[in-house]
Structure 1
Amino acid sequence: MPAWSARVSSTTARQELPVDSIVSVTGGQVRGFEADGVHAFLGIPHAAPAVGPARFELPRPVVPWTGVRDGSAHGPNCLQSPYPAPVEALLPGVRLLGDEYLNVNVWTPDPAGSGLPVLVWIHGGAFTRGSNAGPVYDGRAFARDGVVLVSVNYRLGISGFTAVPGAPLNRGLHDQVAALRWVRENVAAFGGDPDNVTVFGESAGGMSVLSLLAAPAARGLFRRAAVQSANGSAAATAEDGYRLAARLAQQLGIECTAAAFGAVPLERLQAAQDAIATAMALDPNPAVWGESVLEAGGGILSFFPVIDGDLLSGRPIDVLTTPGHRTVPLLAGWNRDDFRLFVFPVGRDAAITADTLPPLLAFCGLTPDLAETYAASRPAAGPADVFAAIMTDRTFTDDVLRLADHSAAQGIPQYRYEFRWPTPVARLDAGHAVELPFVFDRLDSLPSLTGIDPPQPLAGQMHRAWVRFAVDGDPGWSRYDEPDRKVRIFDHPAAGEVSDPRGAELRALRSSLARRRASAHQ
């Protein structure tokens, strides 16, 4: 953990920090602290504690407090377990249990200022893990550069995304909407402009952003959006969501009701959540879990939003590309090797051979001949490398470009990027989450993922682009438009813009998906 984060986590160190800021927010007053010219206010509730039966209700208003609340320590996060050991070694988690886990952190250059652009961060973690207290999400660099950074905690896993009969669906997304409302009502107290808010997120956080773009309840709460390594397909039918909840109730030996789930001790909830995720990975049978659950999860996710007819009238990508649907200016992209995180560190590469690759692609809804297209431009790649490249495009690239094509045709500013810097760690190359320390300009925060000497010039480029986008909507490269389809490449030392990168492969991917779907309906 970086020294600054360690200081704010330590009771002794907190007492030594120069405390000089008190702001009034919904619920009462909060005292923050200043360090290195940046003011931080940590662990502020944006909703009431969601514990007991309330864990399965809509977020409720903040409970007021008396006196001045201490904002010098990170708040707790939702119930979760570590990643599997190989992934946890790369992405060490922060697990702080407590009732007030629906909270935000705020970093600002000047709480007495006004009109500052605002970035609201939604963390990733497969909708089951993650915390706004992660060192890589430290918002100092954004505040240093004139932006108010707000990071959000929300309900995860069983708490946020289990479709319990009789309980509101998509509670985790409702938490995010509640946090955005909190930002609109309170960010001016930190010098921010509530009319210049950009929401951004990575992985499940990016999927959340796409869901918020599709959700009527979130309209008007942000002006722009940025999405890192995500897709808009992660939403199951409510029917299949209820089927998953029934399996969880059976695992726990309880009735499938909100009251029964709310009475279960936390450690038993967590154990059941982990058991279901393991069982789904070992036996991905549509007859057991529901076809839409497996399609939405893509073999990676076991908990995620459902189509509820309220926040989501369909999968986000389908809603967002409906003829006539308009969205906000969007910066979005992927890491060239995103899917390698889900193949190589966990040892799945050993099972992917020339013989097993064709049926594996068929299982993923693709025609086996697609491997030939990808292998042709990667002569040194083995079957596992080819599989990871195909699944990166299927999972993280295709939806982003479909949305870009749709929105750009309506004249809505769209900016696309591809992150290509290859980390020397764990055969990840430009794998999933490697871009995070670069965007936040916190290269000291994840040496387990980036190695010990990642290139600072690249961090400077990416971080400045995100700051510029928050300020006025222009990250500093060409808009994505037909016919050029310009994409900004982030690499070191090479960088620049490329027209329609790997266009032939992506068109082959879409053709393969279409052929498989047509065959399935015959």
Structure 2
Amino acid sequence: MTGPVARTRAGAVRGCAERFGAVFRAVPYAAPAAGAARFAAPEPVAAWSGERDATAFGPTAPMPDRRRFGDMDMEPVVHHWVTGADYRTVNVWTPDPSGRAPVLVFVHGGAFLAGTGAARVYDGAAFARDGVVLVTCNYRLGVPGWLSIPGAPENRGLLDVIAALRWVRENIAALGGDPERVTVCGQSAGGMIVSALLTEPGADGLFRRAISQSGGLHGLDPDRATDVGVRVAQQLGVPHEVASFSEIPDERLVAALTEVTANGQGGLTPVAVVRRGAKVRPGVELMLGNTTQEARLYQNPAQEAAIDELFRSASERLAEEHAAAGGRALRYRFDWRGGPYGACHAVELPFVFETTGLPELREPAGLLGPAVPDGLVRRVHDAWVGFVRDGDPGWTGEHRFTA
């Protein structure tokens, strides 16, 4: 077996050499999420001997199939469920495993129900080319990750992301990254998780900068979170307690939550992500923004105004809380409307990762359509690189991205 080898604290991993460095896929940051462990705080991964194969993506968190939004093909962004309990993993693209480059940790979106760091739109080659180590991660979704269940810690998916950031802190130097220059970034649900990290004492010292894309500060009343949990338990025919949920296969958990949300009995975010009364901690540099037509992704004209206001107000809330903590946020608005769905939610992602060339994105049912301005792609990607590298995306105050 050939390929670069890195030595993490748990053991050696062998990855793949690529044009702009190396990539290590499906490296575990926590123990497998099986049985009762699906509803507990994450535990460290057990050490292994020899070299672990890190050349291929591994399992994903259990999820429903959300690869289509009406006529739109979202597979390059959402991906699909690949079964297996060993899915709490990171993927690392590095320009030089022996280097000391700044690090970007990306937290995927997907309404807390779907998604994976292995989705093709999140390929890290362009970041590695530009001297940045990119880390993507998987975390628990749906019922195991976010449903409020008596006897289980709340926001277990958030605990997973904190565990992944702690893994980065302890191991990224072995893969060419600088643990003192870590930026955490997320989009949609991932952007909400990033915002929550800014309020979590358990995340202290794990990152220096943060980017929230169409995220912001959201919360759900605890009574509503409990109500959604009770409804899912009723759908499953079990008591609303962790011992009962621990015995249920992942497939049934996915189906039950899908049924509850499809019936309008609960929102797509089953539990509050931000603790009530939590305040944004000082000392973290912040960049945040939205697309100008977020709601067009959902193809429901009657709800567009309400959805756009939900995203806008959440970002405003984060900016205000960050300012109250003594920080100054760099703002952006992504306003390229050249695709079939305009400046909709998630449309900026291929620009950030410079993956606009994926064929599925350019087809009639794709997120971007056939005509994408190359200059805008480079400007957006360079802005993210600049912020990760030295906190300077190329503007002060607020910037509008348009062709």
> Which position in structure 2 is the counterpart of 1:489?
400
1:82 to 65, 82, 86: 65
- The structure 1 segments of at least 4 consecutive aligned residues displaced by more than 6 Å after TM superposition are none
CA shift for structure 1 position 411: 5.1
> Which position in structure 1 is the counterpart of 2:12?
29
Contact 2:63/2:80 (CA < 8 Å) preserved in 1? no
Contact 1:277/1:302 (CA < 8 Å) preserved in 2? no
How does 1:54-453 map onto structure 2 within 5 Å? 54-83=37-66, 85-87=68-70, 89-92=72-75, 93-114=79-100, 116-233=101-218, 235-280=219-264, 297=267, 301-306=268-273, 312-314=275-277, 319-320=279-280, 326-342=282-298, 344=299, 348-349=300-301, 352=302, 388-389=304-305, 391-392=307-308, 394-408=309-323, 412-425=327-340, 428-445=341-358, 446-447=361-362, 448-453=366-371
2:35 to 27, 52, 59: 52
Shift in CA distance, 338/144, structure 1 to aligned 2, threshold 3 Å = same
**Stretch deviating more after TM superposition (398-407 or 98-107):** 398-407
Q: For 1:450, what is the secondary structure of its paired residue?
A: coil
Q: For 1:412, what is the secondary structure of its paired residue?
A: coil
> CA separation in 2, counterparts of 1:88 and 1:238?
35
Post-superposition CA distance 1:322-380 (Å, at most 9, x none): xxx535111100000001112x2xxx33xx4xxxxxxxxxxxxxxxxxxxxxxxxxxxx
Q: Normalising by the residue count of structure 2, what TM-score does the alignment of the two structures yield?
A: 0.93
2:382 to 447, 459, 464: 464
In the alignment, residue 399 of structure 2 is paired with which amino acid?
R
In the alignment, residue 391 of structure 1 is paired with which amino acid?
I
Shift in CA distance, 82/217, structure 1 to aligned 2, threshold 3 Å = same
> Which position in structure 2 is the counterpart of 1:514?
none
In the alignment, residue 307 of structure 2 is paired with which amino acid?
M
> CA separation in 2, counterparts of 1:29 and 1:87?
44
Post-superposition CA distance 1:421-466 (Å, at most 9, x none): 11432xx210000000000011123331111231111110000000
CA shift for structure 1 position 406: 4.9
CA shift for structure 1 position 243: 2.3
Unpaired runs of at least 5, structure 1: 1-14, 290-296, 353-386, 481-486, 493-522
Contact 1:117/1:148 (CA < 8 Å) preserved in 2? yes
Unpaired runs of at least 5, structure 2: none
RMSD: 1.9
Contact 2:225/2:271 (CA < 8 Å) preserved in 1? no
> CA separation in 2, counterparts of 1:405 and 1:255?
41
1 or 2, which has the higher helix percentage? 1
Aligned-pair identity in percent equals 44
> CA separation in 2, counterparts of 1:389 and 1:236?
20
In the alignment, residue 66 of structure 2 is paired with which amino acid?
Y
> CA separation in 2, counterparts of 1:88 and 1:216?
42
Higher Cα Rg, which structure: 1
CA shift for structure 1 position 262: 1.4
Q: For 1:214, what is the secondary structure of its paired residue?
A: coil
Shift in CA distance, 87/136, structure 1 to aligned 2, threshold 3 Å = farther
Contact 2:98/2:174 (CA < 8 Å) preserved in 1? yes
CA shift for structure 1 position 244: 1.7
In the alignment, residue 253 of structure 1 is paired with which amino acid?
G
Contact 1:238/1:306 (CA < 8 Å) preserved in 2? no
Post-superposition CA distance 1:400-425 (Å, at most 9, x none): 23433454466523210000111432
> CA separation in 1, counterparts of 2:356 and 2:25?
22
Alignment length, in residue pairs?
395
CA shift for structure 1 position 37: 2.6
Q: Normalising by the residue count of structure 1, what TM-score does the alignment of the two structures yield?
A: 0.72
In the alignment, residue 489 of structure 1 is paired with which amino acid?
R
In the alignment, residue 29 of structure 1 is paired with which amino acid?
A
**Stretch deviating more after TM superposition (133-142 or 446-455):** 446-455
CA shift for structure 1 position 313: 3.9
Contact 1:166/1:257 (CA < 8 Å) preserved in 2? yes
> CA separation in 1, counterparts of 2:313 and 2:330?
15
Q: For 1:474, what is the secondary structure of its paired residue?
A: coil
1:454 to 372, 376, 379: 372
